[in-house]
Chain A
């Protein structure tokens, strides 16, 4: 018997010796994080909005859902049936690139809508601005006045909490991600600086963010809170795609020396202003994706932009066409028929954008710092989304052989609306949150395997064309995005 047990010991020792399991990144662990109740606050990106709409197929890859999956916790989202709510943009052909918008649809949230007698865990509301975090206006009223169905769809009823933050706190969360404020500047930027005519003032942003984060901290003193910051618009294809296309078009004009043909465009707030700045110094001027529709009109004696505007506003043409505009002149190439203000961010507008983003990010960091280093409370962590996006724009992000850039469509990070991340983009954002959790709280949570997340949906074969022609975006394809961003 003694020998037997001795033998057993030797055998055990041998087995222990053999089981040199490799855990190259260390054993997975949550560290001190209690993930049991995770709530996400944010805007369309947090909601999982993609391709101009919110729908189940995209919501399943929202970054909060992907984080929750990694944490192994249940996470209830207001899933919306296909094709979703919004004006879904689909790619009908890659060659040539053709994007079309489906009819506006407003589909209800699938179950659980009436049966869930508590707030959703994903409180990302497409179109929400920083003020909406603590704003206690009735949700239905807000949906009506803003023309945005999502407040009602996602927050439902004030009986679950009078504001976004209150609904989050009603869940008694142990983990909160908060990424809000992008729309405070994107409304201005996507509309070419026309509607609204300025970003949300930085002091107003500061008050909104500080009060939201303070309320969260006080309402959930033990919760682990992560806060995302605001990326630069230079890292968003909605703003960087069309400029180079115009640039190439202008420089290909027959017989013209490179750089000699200039685009005449309206300056901020002016009705007939023009600029002959060498337009293609792109850091000075950005053209939003909404301009794509009008690129083929450059050089033509056309008033297409004004006709489309009149139709959209249901106004007679004379009401939208400024008196000094002469649409018999070549569009964009003559000061009397300039590229319109709503389709350009000039240097002045870009300065407002970048100083607003800088100020917002300073507010976010300031608010975090003021709330941190309180005994007995975990610190709030900053998730540096701005750095992540800039890295993607500067040199791309490579993960296991797959490289992502901020190029429209081909870059893989953004969906077809040019501003909301694709499913893979969402996974990369989720990984940045997880990385921050790991670094800040000493956790070791495995990140999402980006290679397993579906890529952008390719068009069906029947839509494919043989000959590579030109980029087309039907009039108004991106309008719903611009509207969504407007507070």
Chain B
């Protein structure tokens, strides 16, 4: 009668891509111009250079003429993991050192008289997300992550209008292009097996808008908002399986969708004397949008019972987070330079339960300095240096259900150097 008994009930490897959280506080980048960066990113109430396209598009209308600004931020992060505590271990694992250099490019034009007076237009390219972590191939958390690499590009055509000398508004459209690569070990059988995901984000759209007000001669207020974007990633998975497992783990197409959370800046800037500007900003990031991550294999066990790769839903439960920014710049006309400094405090969105080596985030102190100078009458060079100190963070909660069970202490810091060159026509 029924000779053959299907194997469907032998449960197989659940290939949960545990811990794939790419987009988190640590991967948000707010360094998109050396001038703002040297002032701890407290810039939305002034937005007085082309990086207004990121910080506050309304600021464009108070600028002059045609400007090109281009530069990059060199980022060298460092993390060390101590543990895992859940194995009573005190081993030290250092993340592999890498240097990233997300670029920023802006072209803007503002009409300062005539029919179009007060109108500003511009286009910019920034990388609001774009970092990576890479650990040793044989490190203790290899089943959680070996490497993550993410790049996003926001292309932002922008228009602004100054209603009068005291009020401007601006709005930008954002075309979001992204790529992601993740890899981790799969060690149940052959230790050489691993999972590598490569994905390209479908072009996504977002928008940003801002308002800039000068209620008093030496005071300005700014508010800017960038909408949440859901990026759908299409990619391929490769398990690098030994031949005997190849048909069970064919890999193939995977899909995931990730919400890039909404973010806003609110700032107040004061010009007490002609040469001094100070600003205080609050930035809010709607990380609670990042409550879970779903990885969807197109060829999974539900459509094809002969494969054993299955979809995974991982809770993340991030919390909304805030960054407090103080910055100042002081022009020294005698020397022809402007010196800058600032401090920010960045509250991380990652709950202890989901603190993972992919993004061992922590509250951070940012110490910022920099200067700008005119090297030619219409060419400005700006430099910035940030020292990011991550507060030491220990989690003992990842062994709870759904956690990756890697308790321990993370220490980190990052050195950032920003360089921009600005040419005014």
Contacts and interface: CB of A to CB of B under 8 A. Distances in A.
Interface of A: 22-28, 93-97, 241, 244-249, 252-253, 295-296, 298-300, 330, 333, 395, 398-403, 405, 407-410, 412, 431, 434-435, 438, 444-452, 454-461, 463-471
A24 B405 contact: no
Interface string B62-78: 00000000000000000
B293 to A, nearest CB: 15
A300 B1 contact: yes
Nearest to A251: B9
Given A400-B84, A402-B188, 5 more contacts: A244-B10, A245-B7, A296-B5, A398-B404, A400-B404
A21 B243 CA distance: 45
Contacts of A405: 11
Contacts of A445: 88
A461 B241 CA distance: 11
A149 B372 CA distance: 84
Contacts of A400: 84, 87, 140-141, 143-144, 404-406
A468 B244 contact: no
16 contacts: A23-B82, A25-B88, A245-B10, A249-B6, A300-B3, A400-B140, A401-B144, A405-B11, A410-B11, A410-B12, A445-B88, A447-B87, A458-B190, A459-B244, A460-B244, A468-B7
| Chain B interface SS verdict (over half) | loop
Interface string B377-413: 0000000000000001010000101011111110100
Contacts of A454: 191
A24 B10 contact: no
Contacts of B405: 398-401
B189 A95 contact: no
A464 B10 contact: no
Given A24-B394, A330-B1, A403-B14, A463 B244 contact: yes
Contacts of B399: 398
Contact of B9 (A248, A298, A447, A457): A248
Contact of A407 (B4, B11, B141, B242): B11
B80 to A, nearest CB: 8
B5 A249 contact: yes
A327 B389 CA distance: 77
Given A451-B140, A456-B188, A470-B4, A401 B89 contact: no
Contact of B243 (A398, A403, A409, A461): A461
A470 B305 CA distance: 12
B331 interface: no
B184 A401 contact: yes
Contacts of A469: 4, 7
Contacts of B185: 451
Contacts of A461: 242-244
Given A241-B10, A398-B399, A24 B83 contact: yes
B87 A22 contact: no
Contacts of B244: 93-95, 458-461, 463-464
Interface of B: 1-14, 16, 18-19, 82-92, 138, 140-145, 184-185, 187-191, 242-248, 305-306, 308, 392, 394, 399, 401, 403-409, 411
Q: Give the top 3 A-B pairs by smallest Cβ distance, nearest first.
A: A461-B243, A401-B144, A401-B143
A410 B140 contact: no
A241 to B, nearest CB: 7
Name the residue among A395, A458, A465 with the largest chain B CB count within 10 angstroms: A458
B14 to A, nearest CB: 7
B4 A25 contact: no
Nearest to B395: A24
Given A28-B88, A296-B3, A459-B244, A451 B143 contact: yes
A470 B9 CA distance: 11
A25 B85 CA distance: 5
Given A23-B90, A449-B140, A458-B189, A470 B7 contact: yes
Contacts of B184: 401
A447 B88 contact: yes
A97 B3 contact: no
Contacts of B308: 410
Nearest to A299: B1
Contacts of B3: 296, 299-300
A413 to B, nearest CB: 10
Contacts of A248: 5-6, 8-9
Contacts of A434: 88
B143 to A, nearest CB: 4
Contacts of B188: 402, 410, 412, 455-456
B245 A458 contact: yes
Contacts of A458: 189-190, 242, 244-245
Contacts of B82: 22-24
A40 B187 CA distance: 29
A93 B242 CA distance: 12
A210 B343 CA distance: 68
Nearest to B408: A24
A128 B19 CA distance: 43
Given A94-B248, A401-B144, A410-B188, A470 B89 contact: no
Contact of B2 (A244, A299, A408, A447): A299
Contacts of A456: 188-189
Contacts of A398: 18, 399, 403-405
B6 A446 contact: no
B359 to A, nearest CB: 14
A410 B186 CA distance: 12
Contacts of B9: 244-245, 247-248
B90 A28 contact: yes
Given A25-B83, A399-B405, A461-B243, A446 B141 contact: no
Contacts of B84: 400
A249 B180 CA distance: 42
A264 to B, nearest CB: 14
A358 to B, nearest CB: 27
B187 A402 contact: yes
A296 B1 CA distance: 10
A431 B86 CA distance: 10
Given A25-B89, A401-B18, A471 B7 contact: yes
A433 to B, nearest CB: 12
A244 B405 CA distance: 30
B245 A94 contact: yes
Nearest to B398: A398
Contacts of A402: 143, 187-188
Nearest to A331: B1
A17 B408 CA distance: 22
A247 B86 CA distance: 38
Nearest to B84: A400
A240 to B, nearest CB: 10
A88 B394 CA distance: 45
A370 B144 CA distance: 45
B16 A468 contact: no
Contacts of A97: 7, 10
B307 to A, nearest CB: 8
Contacts of A333: 1
Name the residue among A95, A247, A395, A438 with the largest chain B CB count within 10 angstroms: A95
Contacts of B246: 464
Contacts of A241: 10
Nearest to A465: B247
Contacts of A252: 2, 6
Contacts of A450: 87
B89 A446 contact: yes
Nearest to A407: B11
A129 to B, nearest CB: 31
B242 A403 contact: no
Contacts of B1: 299-300, 330, 333
Contacts of A247: 9
Contacts of A22: 82, 90, 92, 392, 409, 411
A20 to B, nearest CB: 9
A431 B88 CA distance: 10
